Structure formats: C-alpha cells, structure tokens
Amino acid sequence: MRRGGAGMRTGLSAILPEFVKKPLYGAIEYVRMGSNNGTARFCPICEKSSARFCQEGVVPRDDARCRHCGGLERHRFLWLYLADRTDLFDGKPKAMLHVAPEPWFEPRFRKRLGSNYVTADLFNPQAMVKMDVTDIKYPDESFDVIYCSHVLEHVPDDRRAMREFHRVLKKTGWAILLVPITADVTFEDPSITDPKLRLKMFGQEDHVRRYGRDYGDRLHDAGFRFELTEVKDIADDEGATRMGLTPAAGEIYYCTK
C-alpha cells in the first residue's frame, strides 16, 4: 500500500524551498541548489538552517536536536513523511488526536487543522484533554488521524492502548504509532519497577519494556494493518545528511484498519 503521488508532494515542496524535488521510484531525490547561506544542516520542521544540530541523549548522538525548534531526528523524518506520503496537509477537515504533543509540532498542527485538532496527555496540564490511552473517553470511530510517538513504551498494558487507538480510529482513517525499536525481540517484565533497574534493562527509568522487530505483531493483534517507511524511502544520502536523518530517525509505522 503506497500513498503519495504528485498531488501529495505539494506539501513537501512548500516546506523545503531550498531543494529541488523530483519523484524517483516512489521516493524523493534531493538536489542541492546554490548557496545554503553557509550552513550545513536544515530542519524541515521550522525551515531554519544551522551549522550543526545539537547533541542529545545519555549516550550523546551527534546531529540530533534542532537548535531552533527542538525537533529530533525522528521528528524531522516524520514531518517529511506527513508532507510527502499522507493527506494531512491537503486542507480538508480532519479530526486528529495527538497524544503527548511535542512543542515543535503542536502549533504547526493547530494552525493547519484548527478546531479539529485535539491534544491529549495523562500528565501534561497543557494538553487539551487528560487521557489514559488504555481507556479513551471518545466514541468509536472519532478520529481521522491519530499520532502517538514514543508513548507506548511507558504504558504497562500497551496492547489495550493499541486496541483503544484502533477503536477510535475511523474506518477510512490512519494512525502513526511510533516506539523506539531497541531489541531484536520485545522484552518486558512487570516485576521490574525500580527506576535504576528499568534504566539498566529498558534504557530509561520510566520505560516498562524494550520493543523489538516483533512490534508489528502487536499492531496486527490490535487489528491494524501497517506499512513501514525508512529514511531511504524519503531522502537520498545527501538530503538525509543535510537534515540530520541518522539511524536514530527510526522507521515510521503507518497504520490502517
């Protein structure tokens, strides 16, 4: 299942004015044009350049965080994907649920989607709705789009949360449900509650599991079909380097019913 085509690429053209874009076997080839004002990196989210992106992480990653908007590798990759491969920015009304809203995305989504855009979080008081993703207080088929990134690794009953996302997604809708894939096979142990041990076993003090490549099995079990997209499907090597799309950008799981 492929989305995109000429109609979808108008959004990408609008947010990457410094590049020439042309279709190449379902991907995008980026060709540098002229001067980029003496800078080496470009963030497609805020459309600003810098000499380098900032380091990030307990084990520092180079070329990670945009010094202007704060977006990380996975966020820059997602923004490109949304513009190039989805209908999110086509101007038509869509009800979107954004779980754990990132500050670099929220105002941009709100501007484009207006009152149909809903932010939700269990703990963040700035979110529009207080939400436990394992018990979503919305009717069946409420949303055209659901976006939830790096949340499920914090949720003890992630399978129930996935089923809830499936329930409130419209039949014609789509969801992007992202998690860090840091193992070959998903590992979890509910008996591990000590933050220091969680840090050792799961990579972060408030994580409850490490996801592996079998993450897709959980999505299938919840009723989703999904398609994987990698950085190489969106950008060539030069474009990926310019936008800091390192392996830490991960993969995008595009989910449908």
Rounded to an integer, the average pLDDT of 112-132 is: 96
Give the pLDDT confidence score for residue 193 in this predicted structure. Answer: 97
H/E segment holding residue 81: helix 73-85
Average pLDDT, the chain: 87
Going along 33-168, which residue ranges are E strands? 41-43, 48-50, 54-56, 61-65, 96-99, 117-121, 129-130, 143-149
Structure tokens, 133:
């993703």
For the chain, the straight-line distance linking the first and the last C-alpha, in angstroms and rounded, comes to 13
Rounded to an integer, the average pLDDT of 19-23 is: 32
Q: What is the pLDDT of residues 207-230, one digit of tens each?
A: 999 999 999 999 999 999 999 999
Instruction: Look at residue 147 and tell me whether its pLDDT is greater than 90.
Output: yes
Rounded distance between C-alpha atoms, residue 235 and residue 228, angstroms = 15
Burial class (CB in 10 A: 0-12, 13-18, 19+), 151: middle
Residue 254: band (very low, low, confident or very high) from pLDDT cuts 50, 70, 90:
very high
Quick one: CA dihedral 56, 59, 61, 62, positive or negative?
A: positive
Structure tokens, 71:
């977006």
For residue 193, being part of any structural domain is answered with: yes
Task: Name the phi and psi angles at 118, rounded to 5.
Answer: -125, 125
For residue 17, being part of any structural domain is answered with: yes
Number of domains making up the chain: 1
Task: Name the phi and psi angles at 255, rounded to 5.
Answer: -110, 140
Rounded distance between C-alpha atoms, residue 121 and residue 151, angstroms = 10
Q: Which residue has the tokens 């989703």?
A: 224
For residue 244, being part of any structural domain is answered with: yes
For residue 1, being part of any structural domain is answered with: no
Q: What is the pLDDT of residues 28-84, one digit of tens each?
A: 332 233 333 448 999 999 999 999 999 987 778 999 999 999 999 999 999 999 999
For residue 222, being part of any structural domain is answered with: yes
For residue 53, being part of any structural domain is answered with: yes
CA-to-CA separations, 126 to 68, 101, 178, 234, in angstroms, rounded:
21, 9, 22, 33
For residue 113, being part of any structural domain is answered with: yes
Residue 25, helix vs strand vs coil: coil
Structure tokens, 239:
């474009």
Rounded distance between C-alpha atoms, residue 34 and residue 18, angstroms = 9
Instruction: Look at residue 122 and tell me whether its pLDDT is greater than 80.
Output: yes
Question: Is-contact 224 247, C-beta < 8 A?
Answer: no
User: pTM, whole model, 2 decimals?
Assistant: 0.85
Going along 1-66, which residue ranges are E strands? 19-24, 27-32, 41-43, 48-50, 54-56, 61-65
Question: Is-contact 231 84, C-beta < 8 A?
Answer: no
Give the pLDDT confidence score for residue 67 in this predicted structure. Answer: 92
Question: Is-contact 183 210, C-beta < 8 A?
Answer: yes
Instruction: Look at residue 6 and tell me whether its pLDDT is greater than 50.
Output: no
Domain holding 208, by residue range, is 6-256
For residue 247, being part of any structural domain is answered with: yes
Q: Which residue has the tokens 């949340």?
A: 151
CATH number for the domain spanning 204: value is: 3.40.50.150
Bridge partners of 43?
Answer: 48
